[in-house]
A = this chain, B = another copy of it.
């Protein structure tokens, strides 16, 4: 089977001139993408990276789904930041997701800004969609992933894997396309966004929309971008990715060293006196160099809309009624964004559906971000599950 795949430069328009340019593969959906909103989105391009060799039987593919601000560069250098891939510790030759054995695919979600069609992409009139872009859902993202798999000629994945919003996609794929994955691994995820989850996202959206440079989303042709608002949104979100204990361990109340290298003292001003303040500011400003504010609005909205039970008559068990996949659900004891109770809720539904599921709560100090960080126990779980 020939796949209608072309390779091109697909970095988003908004990328600043100083950013290095590299190519991802890009796949243009052969037909319009039907959305949960009832709209159809035409001409959707999906940018993706792949690693390892697809077997002749096309049965060794693993789809890795990225989180809110992630992208397809799971194990490749990020073209804008120049940093290593976001899961290089997990994906590669001899690593738990072993590219000597598996063909690993990671696609930028629809609505994002690293090459897949999103608010920054050009609409039919030649101007960016901006806020004309339709509101999407996690299921819409998964529909695009499935269309990509169709294009690649992959009928069934060896596994679909994701952390955080990636885990939501994995669960949604299992529920809506049960025949497409033999194994489903959802890490630090949830089957629905809680009121607190929605509340934090709403703060971020309001921070972006409060920035005059947001200009109702029509900022792509402007010199000024809503960087200040996006930075605040990222700062607020970033706190939720870390644990209180982790922040205390990493920063405590330690003061910034002075420029001359001497120990810090309180400035009795509004500079970043505390290391944690400086760290957060750095996280916020760094994020604006690689992410589009409108994409942040759309993807957070998709996550807030996510309620897998609601999609299936209000019963999460029904969501998994048709599955014959094996599941693995992983939570972290220090994750207060999607705490273990949310994973347990998923596991109970899988049990009710008679699915094969293993569940592990790992102890790790890093909060929600544990799935991205050095947690050797996670490596063992992932490796074991893929056997």
Listed in ascending order, the chain A residues whose CB lies under 8 Å from chain B are 36-38, 131, 134-135, 192-196, 198-200, 202-203, 205-207, 209-212, 228-229, 231-232, 235-236, 239, 242, 244, 247-248, 250-253, 266, 268-270, 272, 274, 276-277, 280-281, 284, 297, 301, 304-305, 307, 310, 336, 339
Looking at the complex, which one of B211, B235, B310 makes contact with A203 (CB distance below 8 Å)?
A: B235
Chain B residues with CB under 8 A of A37: 268
How many protomers of this protein does the assembly include? Answer: 2
Chain B residues with CB under 8 A of A297: 270
A198–B281 touching, CB < 8 Å: no
CB proximity of A95 to chain B, nearest CB, Å = 32
A301–B270 touching, CB < 8 Å: yes
A38 CA to B247 CA, complexed, in Å: 30
A199–B239 touching, CB < 8 Å: yes
CB proximity of A375 to chain B, nearest CB, Å = 21
A270 CA to B277 CA, complexed, in Å: 30
A205 CA to B270 CA, complexed, in Å: 9
Chain B residues with CB under 8 A of A244: 194-196, 336, 339
Q: A199-B235, A205-B270 are in contact. List 15 more A-B contacts (CB 8 A).
A: A131-B270, A135-B268, A195-B244, A195-B248, A196-B248, A199-B276, A200-B239, A202-B276, A202-B280, A203-B236, A206-B284, A210-B228, A210-B232, A270-B297, A274-B304
A219 CA to B253 CA, complexed, in Å: 32
B251–A232 touching, CB < 8 Å: no
Chain B residues with CB under 8 A of A193: 253
A262 CA to B238 CA, complexed, in Å: 37
Q: Which residue of A134, A193, A268, A307 has the most chain B CB atoms within 10 A of its CB atom?
A: A268
A272 CA to B105 CA, complexed, in Å: 36
A199–B268 touching, CB < 8 Å: no
Chain B residues with CB under 8 A of A301: 270
CB proximity of A214 to chain B, nearest CB, Å = 11
Select from chain B the residue with minimum beta-carbon distance to A210.
B228
CB proximity of A199 to chain B, nearest CB, Å = 5
A134 CA to B270 CA, complexed, in Å: 11
A195–B236 touching, CB < 8 Å: no
Looking at the complex, which one of B135, B196, B231 makes contact with A247 (CB distance below 8 Å)?
A: B196
A232 CA to B244 CA, complexed, in Å: 22
Looking at the complex, which one of B202, B206, B235 makes contact with A202 (CB distance below 8 Å)?
A: B235
Chain B residues with CB under 8 A of A231: 206, 210
Chain B residues with CB under 8 A of A307: 253
Q: Which residue of A235, A301, A305, A336 has the most chain B CB atoms within 10 A of its CB atom?
A: A235
Given contacts A200-B239, A239-B199, A280-B199, A207 and B194 within 8 Å (CB-CB): no
Select from chain B the residue with minimum beta-carbon distance to A35.
B268
B247–A199 touching, CB < 8 Å: yes
Select from chain B the residue with minimum beta-carbon distance to A275.
B195
A210–B229 touching, CB < 8 Å: yes
A307 CA to B273 CA, complexed, in Å: 14
Chain B residues with CB under 8 A of A198: 253, 274, 276-277
CB proximity of A244 to chain B, nearest CB, Å = 5
A247 CA to B310 CA, complexed, in Å: 19
CB proximity of A222 to chain B, nearest CB, Å = 14
The 9 A-B pairs at the shortest CB distance, nearest first, are namely A210-B228, A195-B247, A37-B268, A135-B268, A195-B251, A195-B276, A196-B244, A202-B277, A203-B235
